[in-house]
Amino acid sequence: MKKNKLLMLVLMLTICGGTFAQELSNFWNQKPIISPEITETEVTFRLMAPEADSVKIMGGFTPTVKMKTQFGEMDVPSAVDMTKDENGLWSITMPVPAVELYTYSFIVDGLTLNDPSNILLQRDGTRYLSVLLVPGEKTENYFEANKRGDMHQVWYDSKTLGLNRRMFVYTPYGYETSGKKYPVLYLLHGAGGDEDAWSTMGRTRQILDNLIEKGLAEPMICVMPNGNPNQMAAITTKLPQSELDFRDPANRNLYVNSIVKDIVPYVESNFRVIADADHRAIAGLSMGGGHTISTANEYPGMFQYICPLSMGIWGEQPEIDDKLKGLKEAGYKMYWLACGKTDFVWESAKKLDAKLTENGLKHTFFVTEGGHTWANWRVYLNTFAPLLFK
């Protein structure tokens, strides 16, 4: 702590110029800024910015406004003014928003920044956002459980993609000592995400830890690969990307093939896994929902649990009936589709629901409020994970 304070002092002195003594005195006497500060009824955000003319806050909990965009009319969050006190401390106190995990930013004279007093920061693709986690029934499983599983960042060779690639693998509490074999959930992220998305934004470890600790879900391994087939790993590694054009129809299913041919074999030979279809589940959101649908269709019988989230059938897919009939014939235990009613993929999800019905595939269509959001994807994981491997 001393080191931090010294560094901050150094910083203040160098930016404040002349009046060292006064600044020094201010610095050592100032109270640390607490933000966000949450009570049972209110939450307060604070930012020290004496020179700013305008400080706003914007996040998942600020009021939404209707806006027309090229994607249609959408509810988008608005920025809310904060108030400056005589010391230059900006703040806003508001009623605690609905129980949820939110992200937010400050906007200081038009410039977006994170809350420097908040240690909880999440990377969403290329951006970092501050996190507000409101406790309550809905978010109970997003907090740390008492019995926590391990998270492994492992590298595997994908012969299909010609790359050595990284994935995150969750092993449940007790894995080291139980000697048991476990079922596996393959959990896929969406466009803009990477192998880190489900574990940070999705709170996968916390959700599975809590569900397993409560006896609601079977102890399982969860594999979170990188679904961008030209990447070896998240852009934070700065590893080069491959040049292969994955929009070329000839390469379209390469990633789906790599799941079955590279990832599943790696997991089944490096972890204590029950290596049969009854103990394999595949789920994914958005683009990963597309990967889930394709993997099920291209490799019928491989996964007995199939859970596309916030995704469906886009455009013309003349082969879809044949593919679904093939899947029906091969057999599966659960087809669990989820989508929010205001999601921009809602129509495509309804189309998948209809196609499944039309072709006689028993399934669940789990319909929620809301759109294409992590708020929904965490709920979906929390809802379908207890249904797996039973």
Q: Is 235 in the site for a copy of itself (CB under 8 A)?
A: yes
The piece of 141-149, 292-300, 333-341, 360-368 that touches a copy of itself (CB under 8 A) is 141-149
User: Closest approach of Cβ 254 to a copy of itself, in Å?
Assistant: 20
Instruction: Please list every residue from 36 through 75 that binds a copy of itself, using CB under 8 A.
Output: 47-53, 56, 58, 65, 67, 69, 71, 74
User: Closest approach of Cβ 326 to a copy of itself, in Å?
Assistant: 32
Instruction: Please list every residue from 321 through 350 that binds a copy of itself, using CB under 8 A.
Output: none
Instruction: Please list every residue from 282 through 301 that binds a copy of itself, using CB under 8 A.
Output: none
SS (H, E, C) the chain: CHHHHHHHHHHHHHHHCCCHHHHHHHHHHCCCCCCCEECCCEEEEEEECCCCCCEEEEECCCCEEEEEECCEEEEEECCEECEECCCCEEEEEEECCCCCEEEEEEEECCEEECCCCCCCEEEECCEEEEEEECCCCCCHHHCCCCCCCEEEEEEEEECCCCEEEEEEEEECCCHHHHCCCECEEEEECCCCCCCCHHHHCCCHHHHHHHHHHCCCCCCCEEEECCCCCCCCCCHHHCCCCCCCCCCCHHHCCHHHHHHHHHHHHHHHHHCCECCCHHHEEEEEECHHHHHHHHHHHHCCCCCCEEEEECCCCCCCCCCHHHHHHHHHHHCCCEEEEEEECCCCCHHHHHHHHHHHHHCCCCCEEEEECCCCCHHHHHHHHHHHHHHCCC
Q: Is 242 in the site for a copy of itself (CB under 8 A)?
A: no
Total chain residues near a copy of itself (CB under 8 A): 76
Q: Is 302 in the site for a copy of itself (CB under 8 A)?
A: no
Say which residues have a Cβ less than 8 Å from residue 123's Cβ, sequence separation at least 6.
129, 196, 200, 236
Q: Which one of residues 30, 237, 241, 357 is an interface residue with a copy of itself (CB under 8 A)?
A: 237
Instruction: Please list every residue from 178 through 217 that binds a copy of itself, using CB under 8 A.
Output: 190-192
Residue 40 in tokens: 């049972």
User: Closest approach of Cβ 332 to a copy of itself, in Å?
Assistant: 30
272 vs 176: CA distance, rounded Å: 10
Which residue lies nearer to a copy of itself by CB, 234 or 334?
A: 234
Q: Is 164 in the site for a copy of itself (CB under 8 A)?
A: yes
Which residue lies nearer to a copy of itself by CB, 113 or 302?
A: 113
Q: Is 9 in the site for a copy of itself (CB under 8 A)?
A: yes
Which residue lies nearer to a copy of itself by CB, 58 or 277?
A: 58
The piece of 77-85, 218-226, 314-322, 374-382 that touches a copy of itself (CB under 8 A) is 77-85
User: Closest approach of Cβ 244 to a copy of itself, in Å?
Assistant: 18
Q: Are 119 and 131 in contact (CB under 8 A)?
A: no
Site string for a copy of itself, 84-123 (x = CB under 8 A): ---------------------x-xxxxxxxx-x--xxx-x
366 vs 212: CA distance, rounded Å: 22
Which residue lies nearer to a copy of itself by CB, 170 or 186?
A: 170
- Determine the angle formed by the axes of helices 2-16 and 20-29, rounding to 10 degrees: 150
Q: Is 152 in the site for a copy of itself (CB under 8 A)?
A: yes
Which residue lies nearer to a copy of itself by CB, 9 or 96?
A: 9
Q: Which one of residues 19, 26, 30, 78 is an interface residue with a copy of itself (CB under 8 A)?
A: 78
Site string for a copy of itself, 250-279 (x = CB under 8 A): --------------------x---------
Which residue lies nearer to a copy of itself by CB, 58 or 361?
A: 58
Q: Is 352 in the site for a copy of itself (CB under 8 A)?
A: no
